[in-house]
Amino acid sequence: MTVDKELEKLSRLTPPAADPEARARALAAAMQAFDTAENNAPAPQGSAKGWRQSSIINWIWSPAMNKKFLAGSALATLLVIPAAGYLTIELTRNQPIVDQTEIAGNLSQTNAPKPAEPVAAAPRLYPAETEENRPAQSSAANGAQALQDKESQPAKPAAEQLSEFDAGEIAALKSKSEDSAAALGGAKPAAPAAPGMAAQGQLLAEPMAAVAPSPVPPEEGRVEIQVEADRERFANAAANPIKSVATDPVSTFSADVDSASYSFVRRSLTGGALPDPQSVRVEEMINYFPYDWPGPDKADQPFKATVTVMPTPWNHDTELMHVAIKGYDIAPATAPHANLVFLIDVSGSMDEPDKLPLLKSAFRLLVNRLKPDDTVSIVTYAGNAGTVLEPTRVAEKSKILSAIDKLEPGGSTGGAEGIEAAYDLAKQAFVKDGVNRVMLATDGDFNVGPSSDEDLKRIIEEKRKDGIFLTVLGFGRGNLNDSLMQTLAQNGNGSAAYIDTLAEAQKTLVEEAGSTLFPIAKDVKFQVEFNPERIAEYRLIGYETRALNREDFNNDRVDAGDIGSGHSVTAIYEITPKGSPAVMNDDLRYGTADKAPAATSDSAHGGELAFVKMRYKRPGEDKSALITTPVGDGNTVATVDAAPQDVRFSVAVAAFGQKLSRIAAVDAYSYQAIADLAAASRGTDTFGYRSDFLGLIRLADGLSQR
């Protein structure tokens, strides 16, 4: 600081000759006034004693300076000046730099911060001067006076004061804030400011958004800043563990063809932040992309499974068992008639460009994709549900589009009542042997009526018995209740997608309309049994929220995922061969009581690695059918490069999803290695999805190195 430099410079000067008696009188008067002010000062907030909290230097200052042998010598001047500078720092270091209340108020607004009220001046080095006690003016006194004049000026606005922090101070503040958040139980920093925000609103976006409420009580002098809580909710599911084949040889899970997680991850990365690990569902990342898996030739067998066993790119001591299922693709000309009800959230929270306006554009795309004999109805909900459009044939397209265009946001969110009204309309226009589906479009903010996940789940379960399925489309950020979206879609025999751009709406509702709207099978379940003579351990990558009990596989009353026309489903296991150094579990000392007889190479199944089973029900049927596929050495390739192109690309996506989920298995596998694997297997990329994926890897790599 300038004052410090001046004081340091003055401390090296030879003091001018002065009248010893005059100097002694002035100094004694100054010290007496200082002691009087110190002793009579009111007790500060947070102190039970009647004096200010300061170092021991303050207590020895006055007696030492009043000693005659110091007051009347040149040595006094040499000691006073450096000590005065030190004392100034001691007395002012605990003073707040900015007005705390003003900062908290400014951060809750997007406009420029208002000027703060003048900050109380720090304690002066000397008491206020009068004509009677004014000391002789010297260079040192001039420097102290300059400091006093600076203190007496009105405080700058909070934003201007903080803008003068250097990079080190900002980094220290941010680091301490994040440490405090971790101590409080995992509170996370707020997301970066949205692109396009006014420059004034961005002034403190990065350093201040990360500041969590301080665990130290405000009376101890800490700056306390309140940040609006993140209301986005995701299902809290732990990653699948490594399982021992000796004790747990069977893996069972429900099919999942949702894609919401990939779109949300993309939105986070392009917005400048790594996604919440709980928002990353690896199976949805993998199944987001179209693959050219071999499909069945006839509709009487709706699925065909293709299994590939290959070395694991991120662990040379394990292998990957890649299971790819492709559904029968219904020709558009033979697609059944559709009875669709658009259930649209028009609550106040939808009044953002990436919510209701994007939603309206997305549904316009879907209407243009439908056939003239298909039927569309529209129900809105915001506090109370209302029917905007009775069942209307798509031949009257202009009437449907006009109803969509007139939608306006406003009110609270009464989702449950809207769901009831939508299902009533779907039942009114029900098409036998056709597609009857409610399409719920929302930002996920259900805050009126039966709003618990269990209540809404029960409503959806009851309605699906009438043959009416549910698709859930999520929009926007801030209120997104991904957990509820997943619950509703899974229990409504439907799927969930997150629409972050119009291009994503085009992909989901136009390019993939067949798989989105026209189911070819329901309650699709997978079960894989591993051969303990060949495989020691396994880990299912993803599907944490789709796990089923072993006995659920043969129980037709247990609900599972649905697969639409042309849909593909991919599941990947990381498996550890018997005898591999990667085995994590010790052999059991006493074995297992129910251990099956060992399979030898001479037995019927001795050469198998695993056995894949799949159960499904045709639409309108209640009894499931079974498809089985044995996995043996004939499914194995020796190198990663020898695996089919689409298999390698899906493995790259699986690695990326695990990396974002903080799965320890891929810690040593770099983003660059993932990008290299994806780039080498990109292949034909008609719509650019795979090229965009490579861009997301680069963004994640850059953000992870901050």
**Joined tokens for residue 43:** 């007790």
Residue 42 pLDDT:
54
Model confidence, pTM: 0.67
What are the pLDDT digits (tens) for 83-132?
Answer: 555 555 555 554 444 444 443 444 344 444 444 444 444 333 333 444 44
Residue 333 pLDDT:
72
Measure the CA–CA gap between 495 and 485, rounded to whole angstroms.
9
Q: How confident is the model at residue 37 (pLDDT cuts 50, 70, 90)?
A: low
Q: Check residue 187 and give left, alpha or beta (phi > 0: left; psi -120 to 50: alpha).
A: beta
What are the pLDDT digits (tens) for 668-702?
Answer: 999 999 999 999 999 989 899 999 999 999 999 99
109-113, 201-205, 216-220, 326-330: which range is least confident on average?
201-205
Measure the CA–CA gap between 563 and 642, rounded to whole angstroms.
30
pLDDT surpasses 80 at 33? no
Greater pLDDT, 35 or 703: 703
Q: Give the strand pairing for 250-254 and 519-530.
A: antiparallel
What are the pLDDT digits (tens) for 620-650?
Answer: 888 999 999 999 999 999 999 999 999 999 9
Residue 637 pLDDT:
98
**Domain definitions of the chain by residue range:** 2-159, 165-220, 243-330+520-580+608-704, 334-517
Q: Return the CATH fold of 243-330+520-580+608-704.
A: Immunoglobulin-like (2.60.40)
DSSP state for residue 233 in the 8-state scheme: B
Mean pLDDT for the stretch of residues 466-492: 84
Q: Return the CATH fold of 334-517.
A: Rossmann fold (3.40.50)
**Joined tokens for residue 194:** 């949205």
27-36, 218-227, 299-308, 554-563: which range is least confident on average?
218-227
Q: How confident is the model at residue 144 (pLDDT cuts 50, 70, 90)?
A: very low
29-43, 57-71, 197-211, 561-575: which range is least confident on average?
197-211
**Joined tokens for residue 560:** 């599972």
Measure the CA–CA gap between 217 and 444, rounded to whole angstroms.
35
Mean pLDDT across the chain, nearest whole number? 76
Greater pLDDT, 299 or 434: 434
Among residues 585, 339, 604, the alpha carbon closest in space to that of 468 is found at 339
Biggest CA pair distance of the chain: 115
pLDDT surpasses 60 at 82? no
